[in-house]
Structure 1
C-alpha cells in the first residue's frame, strides 16, 4: 500500500474572469522511504497540488478527486478536526520562501514549540529538549541561544533550517518539500538538500520534492512526475526519465539544461510541440 495515493486531483479557482483550472486530473503516489520529485516550470500546478493535499488552499479553490489516500485513508473526506490531527503531524510541508513563512513577531523557538504543543503530549521541559535536539539535527549552531532569535536575526539558510526543524518536529511519515532551496546560494542549496536526504534516510519517511531544477531531481529523486499546465505529462524512475524521456515537454526540460546549450542559446519549451502531446508514462 502506498503511503500517499492521489487519483484524478483537480483544483479550480474562482476568478473575475471565471473558473481557472490550476490542476487537471493529476494522479500520483509515493511510498514509505521513497523520494518522489514533481518537476515543471512555474505555474504548472506543482505547489497547488500539494497545498490541496495539505488543505491549505484559499476558499476560492474547489478541490475534487476520486480520492487522496494517506495510509489507505481518504483524507479528502474526513472531518476538519481529524485532518488537523494528521496535517503537521504525520504529513508536514516545508514551504517556499522561509522568511515569508515564518512569523516575524515570534521567536523561532516559539514557532517550533507551537507544533509540539499541538501534536504531542510532551511537557514544557521535554518540549524544550526536543526543540534543542531539532536545532542540532538541522545544523544550527548554539541552538539554545538561537531559539530566542527572531527570523529577521537569522540568515536565509538558517531560516530554511528552522522550517525543516518545524516540519520534522513530530517525526512525520511524509515530508513535502516545496522548492526548499529557492533564493539560497549554491553552497547553501547543497547543504539543505544533503540535510533533507540524510534525515529522510535516517527516519525512513517518504518525501515529495517540488522543484523546477532537473539537476536537483537527478541527485535526489527515486521517481519523477513531470507536470505542465496543471496536467501530468510523464512519470518514470529517475534513470529512465533522463536516459529515455518519452514526452516532448520532458525532452524540452532536459534540453534546457546548461550543458545542452548550442552556442549562446538554450532550447526553450516553445521549440517543442507540446499542446497536443498526450500523457505517455505511468498510470494516468
Structure 2
C-alpha cells in the first residue's frame, strides 16, 4: 500500500535572474516498510523535493503538485496548523548537519522531550523516561547523564544519533534521512547507516534515503529514484538499476564509482541532455566539472 504519493511536483524560487525551477515534475511513491533511495549529485533537487513534502521550505518558494498524499491525507489541502500535527509525528526528517540542526542553547534532553510534549502530550516524568529510552536505543552511552549535555559537548556522530532519536520519538510511519552521514568519518557513517536500517526494520517504518553515494544506495535501498537538475531520470529496483541502468546519467554516475573506474583518472559526470528514452549505446561521460 502506498504511504506517500506525489505526482508532478514543481518547486520554484524567485531569483534576481528570474524564476528558478529547483524541482521539475517529479513523481514518486513510497510503500509501507519500503526503503526508497533518491540519488543524484548536489543541486539535483533531492532535498528540496522532500522539504516541500514536509512543508519546510520558505514562504517565498512556490510549490505545486497534481497530487501529494500521505497515509490517505491530501497534504495540499492542509493548512499550516494541520500539517504540523503530522510533521514530526507521523512523518519525520533527519537533516544533513546535526550540529547545525540542534539548538545550541538547549540540552539534548530538552530538545527530545519537546517533541514528546508537542505530539505525545506526555507528562514530565514520562518524557524523561522516553528520552532516556530513545538515547539508549540509538546507542548513546550513559543516556540519563547525556540528557543534560549540550550539542557542543557531543561528537558529530553522537549529535546525529540524537537527531535520529528525535525523529523516531513518536514512532513515525515515514522517516526521511537527508544525507545522514554527511561530515562523518567512514567508521561512523557505517554505524549510522546500520542504525537507520535496524530501526526501520524494528519499527516497520518506510524510509526515504536522500544521498549522492551509490554505495549507500546499494547497501540500503529496495528501490531507487535518480534525479538530475530537478527531474527524475530513472526509477528502478536497486538490482535492476545497478545491473541494467536505462539512463545515460545513471550510467555516468555508476561509471564514476572508484570500483568501476579504469585508469588513473576517474571519469566525471557530463552535462547531459535530458533523455526521454535510453539510447541503445552508452554515451561515455565527457570531462568537465560536476
- Shorter-chain TM range is over 0.9
User: Which residue in 2 is equivalent to 1:268?
Assistant: 268
Conserved? CA contact 2:233–2:274, under 8 Å: no
Query: For residues 274 and 117 of structure 2, what CA distance do their matches in structure 1 show?
Result: 50
User: Which residue in 2 is equivalent to 1:85?
Assistant: 85
What do residues 106-155 of structure 1 show as CA deviations (whole Å, max 9, x unaligned)? Answer: 10011101100110121111111100000000000000111100000000
Conserved? CA contact 1:232–1:279, under 8 Å: no
RMSD: 1.0
Q: CA deviation at 1:276?
A: 3.7
Query: For residues 211 and 276 of structure 2, what CA distance do their matches in structure 1 show?
Result: 22
With normalisation by structure 2, the TM-score equals 0.94
Query: For residues 274 and 53 of structure 2, what CA distance do their matches in structure 1 show?
Result: 28
Matches within 5 A, 1:1-284: 1-270=1-270, 274-278=272-276
Q: CA deviation at 1:17?
A: 1.2
The SS at the match of 1:277 is coil
What do residues 79-131 of structure 1 show as CA deviations (whole Å, max 9, x unaligned)? Answer: 21111100000000000110000010110011101100110121111111100
Conserved? CA contact 1:96–1:178, under 8 Å: yes
The SS at the match of 2:2 is coil
Q: CA deviation at 1:263?
A: 1.5
Unaligned runs of 5+ in 1: none
Query: For residues 260 and 110 of structure 1, what CA distance do their matches in structure 2 show?
Result: 47
Conserved? CA contact 1:95–1:178, under 8 Å: yes
What do residues 184-222 of structure 1 show as CA deviations (whole Å, max 9, x unaligned)? Answer: 000000000000000000000000000000000000000
Query: For residues 269 and 185 of structure 1, what CA distance do their matches in structure 2 show?
Result: 25
Q: How many residues align?
A: 278
Q: CA deviation at 1:274?
A: 2.2
